[in-house]
Amino acid sequence: MNYILFSVIAYLLGSIPTALWLGRARYSIDVREHGSKNAGATNTFRVLGKKPGIIVLTIDILKGIIATILPVLFLPDGFCGEPNDTLVQVQILAAISAVIGHVFPVFAQFKGGKGVATSLGVIIGLTPLAAGICILIFLLVFILSQYVSLGALVAAICFPIVLKFIVGEESIWLLSFSTFLSILVLFAHRKNIVRLLQRNENKMNLFKK
């Protein structure tokens, strides 16, 4: 029951279409009809600007963090010693459900974002050190290339490597999850990969006013 309960809660959390609801409520704009037509933080930055973009980014990250922390708060031994396999498994299922909810939100006709911000949130909840390193990788690639998608793709590919060889994680559950999450992010960015190869992907200048 714990597996089902926390997975459903996480999916519903992930399904909150922050960009869509904020765009409609504050600006009377459906972000899915503009820019890259994606209901995520990056497109919100492009279509609505920095302030709403930061709001959407923050909430989408929090969705992932909350989804992975809830099992720790409510399951036995959540704060006592090393997390047991059951707790880790429930957290991972919750993490996957949250990301799937963001990409295929039940509250927005299953047309959501690409899962990067929520993926970052679940990584922070599960392994903060690996998350910090992946954020640095993302920022480095993004600043040098001005491609948000390229930064996300490189960070996603690096996540399992960072988790195994830098953080030294030995849990087969977490390592398997990191590989799955990387594949999911790559799949969600398949159109971006094509545009990057064709050199017609949209750039974003982080320091532009």
The CA-CA-CA angle for residues 103, 156, 192, to 5°, reads 60
pTM: 0.87
Q: Are 67 and 9 in contact (CB under 8 A)?
A: yes
pLDDT digits (tens, 9 = 90+) for 132-190: 999 999 999 999 999 999 999 999 999 999 999 999 999 999 999 999 999 988 998 99
Residue 204 forms part of a structural domain: no
Residue 56 forms part of a structural domain: yes
Residue 96 forms part of a structural domain: yes
Residue 206 forms part of a structural domain: no
- Quickly list DSSP for 53-67: HHHHHHHHHHHHHHH
pLDDT digits (tens, 9 = 90+) for 64-123: 999 999 998 888 665 555 557 788 899 999 999 999 999 999 999 999 988 889 999 999
Residue 208 forms part of a structural domain: no
Residue 209 forms part of a structural domain: no
What DSSP character marks residue 106?
Answer: G
* Structural domain for 174, as ranges: 2-198
